Amino acid sequence: MKGSNLNKRTARGGLLILLVLSILVTSCLNWFLDKPSIIVREIILSPRSLLEMNLLLGIEVQNPNRFDLTLTSFEYTVHLNNEEIGTGRLEKEILVPASSTTRVQAPVAAKFKNLGGSLKTILTGEDLPYKIEGKAVVKTAFGSLSFSFSKDGRINSKS
């Protein structure tokens, strides 16, 4: 009888240690996880109706870590020429291998009225200032991490 009580205590102690270690690793994840960076490389226009247009953003997600990341959630708001034109989110998980870049196409539904002067800039192929911001969740072998992001730059919509 004493032996079975000892085994139960040992098992409980082992589970407790495992639980504490799991919590420590997860809470320290952002100490050794470099956040992926996001760069908009292209904008593809696709009219949806007389009032709406679909934009497809060609985005590069760069993983600077020495381990794979899975992008499990990615929600974003897009600004062109300092005006918010629309929002979007990815519907599926995306694997971003260690120390590499993965190309992603991110849809944005926009109303023509929201595009303002950006539509002319897109059609003429001039440099267009953009800003993409939102929230992402990445999963690793060590746990998951949620983070906000904001990236701005200029893009030549004809490239």
In three-state form (DSSP H/G/I as H, E/B as E, the rest C), the secondary structure along 121-132 is HHHHCCEEEEEE
Evaluated on CA atoms 119, 123, 129, 132, the torsion sign reads: positive
Whether 25 shows a pLDDT value over 50: the answer reads: no
Question: What is the number of H-type helices and E-type strands within the chain?
Answer: 4, 8
Interatomic CA distance for residues 43 and 55, integer angstroms: 6
* Mean pLDDT rounded to a whole number for the chain: 77
pLDDT band at 64 (very low <50, low <70, confident <90, very high): very high
Whole-angstrom distance, CA of residue 77 vs CA of residue 59: 13
pLDDT of residue 126: 72
Q: Quick check: 111 and 118 in contact, CB under 8 A? A: no
Residue carrying structure tokens 């032996």: 3
Please tell me the predicted confidence (pLDDT) of residue 39. Answer: 83
- pTM for the whole structure: 0.68
Of 34, 128, 126, 112, the closest CA to residue 80 belongs to 128
CATH assignment of 34-156, among 1.10.238.10, 1.10.8.60, 2.60.40.1820, 3.30.365.10: 2.60.40.1820
Q: Which amino acid makes up residue 71?
A: L
pLDDT score for 7: 59
Contacts of 133 (CB under 8 A, 6+ apart): 76, 77, 79, 148, 149, 150, 151
Q: What's the helix, strand, coil split of the chain in %, to 5?
A: 25, 55, 20
d(CA 88, CA 67): 27
Per-residue confidence band for 112, with pLDDT thresholds at 50, 70 and 90: low
What is the per-residue pLDDT for 147? 85
